[in-house]
Structure 1
């Protein structure tokens, strides 16, 4: 694996735009907190307005899955129109867990290498120049299907701040070595984070009714044990890190 891809870089501060927050809720006084936002409370499954998520140009790495994400467009920079990131994935056995996006269309633009995907019942291969579209609410997964580096653009429309929260936390957990060998989060951490970002992403297993019944309870247990949807040590905002 190319170790030069496994670094976490902080971009220079950028001017703030006028993005609309997608997250609402109440404060948790006992968790890692942003200096400008409120996070989980033990009796709430929503989040407060956030303005200090991933900065435009940030590069975040997931050493456990061999991935790097370069942020090209955010909810803040696009006024809620487009989340775009360049994904670089090393060859290997990692397959992104099957999931769906309940309110977003997703596009994958292949830049380099061989992109393997399953969208609904369709399995295929994308090569440089191909654009693959996943409709709203359709289950999909992906992997590097070639022997070398794979590069694609992720594009989600509309842009949701919860997407940025998910990637910030998931990639941060990987840098801390806290993912399972499969690349999945541990159960309580997954329940806390996935409940927070349910408007962005939902896994397809276990079945939805099981998730609806079990995840709120597991998330409450997880928060009481110290798991959070966001950890300020993973923030790409220099000001937030200095105060975190």
Structure 2
């Protein structure tokens, strides 16, 4: 006689397993497909963002390129003023001018020694001005300050020969001559840049207020472009 064994109700129904498996598989496929679609749609945006980041992030190749381009363009703009004022050359660029060297003159410039002298003077002016714009690195300034504090100045000597008092004064003013000289040199180069820029293109030769403002703004850009470009490029070193 056969005995029937009752089914264990606690065991899962084996017939329901094949039904849940296809649902999980189809859901995974849809999720993967959605991820691929989002990635493909956002790929151009991510690519453009990466390119822009290369030009605005310090230390990257694009950042260095922006600084180098700004320096050379600014130097060339300043060269035009030096070329006109110091060597009486025709304007290199046509804007705010009644006549200029023209495209044929541009082809002849690389063979003109005076142009390269003007370019060298302009580059020197841009570099010296950029040093005043950049200033010192905060860490460098802190180190110099901490180093200077270790030298304690004694009271001014009395009852000694004049040489002792003079040497005490040298000790007190140590390093200030270099500081003042550097400031005077920077001021000298700024004056050269301002004079050559505004003599080369005098804004008040025009009667139209818009032309005066435009020429004045161009002169400011011509003066600052090289310094800012050099400062950006120098920060990447």
What interval of TM-score do these two structures reach, taking the shorter chain for normalisation?
A: under 0.3
Q: Which has the higher helix share?
A: 2
TM-score, with normalisation over the residues of structure 2?
0.21
Using structure 1 for the length normalisation, give the TM-score.
0.21
- Bigger proportion of residues as strand: 1
Query: Which has more radius of gyration?
Result: 2
Q: Which has the higher contact order (CA 8 A, sep 6+)?
A: 2
